[in-house]
Structures are given as structure tokens and as C-alpha cells.
Amino acid sequence: MSDKPVSDLSFEEAMAELENLVSRLEGSQVALEDSIRLYERGEALKKHCEAKLKAAEEKVEQIMLGENQQPTGSKPVEGL
């Protein structure tokens, strides 16, 4: 687990850490207090990743709308 604040992580770093946390929680015997700490960190990582994905989705939609705010022929990204 990284000591780096969640808000400072890139999407890729956050996803890698989240996958590691899930693996640790599923695959080994972790003390209750450690499990709670890992779960809390995992929840923060999940929210961070969701926010990063939403921001990327909004950027893609803006690009696809074009200068006149008219669709350029492609439809907005849905359900990332």
C-alpha cells in the first residue's frame, strides 16, 4: 500500500493499488484492523478512479461535440 495521498495518484497508479488491495483482502489472512484500513483505502481509490473516468468521459464528449457544440457524427461515450 502506498503512502502517497490518493488524490496525487494517476488513474493507472490508483487502479494498480486497488487491485493489490483486493488481492490482499481476498487471498490472505489479514487482521481485522488491517482489513478495515485496507477497505477504507480501497474505497477512496475507487472513488478517485470513478472521478478520473468521469472527467475523461466529459473531455471526450466535448471533443466529439466540436466547436459549434454540434455532434460531429459520433455519439458520446456511455457507461465507462
- Sketch out the chain's domains with CATH numbers: 6-65 (1.10.287)
Structure confidence at residue 46 (pLDDT)? 97
On whether the CB atoms of residues 70 and 62 are closer than 8 A, the answer is no
The residues near 56 (Cβ < 8 Å, ≥ 6 apart) are: 11, 80
DSSP states of 6-64 as a string? GGGS-HHHHHHHHHHHHHHHHHS---HHHHHHHHHHHHHHHHHHHHHHHHHHHHHHHHH
Model pLDDT, residue 28: 76
Band of pLDDT at residue 69, cut at 50, 70 and 90: low
Give the pTM. Answer: 0.74
Could you read off the pLDDT of 32-66 as tens digits, one per residue? 999 999 999 999 999 999 999 999 999 888 887 76
Provide the residue type at 65 as one letter.
Answer: L
Q: Is 10 a residue whose pLDDT tops 60?
A: yes
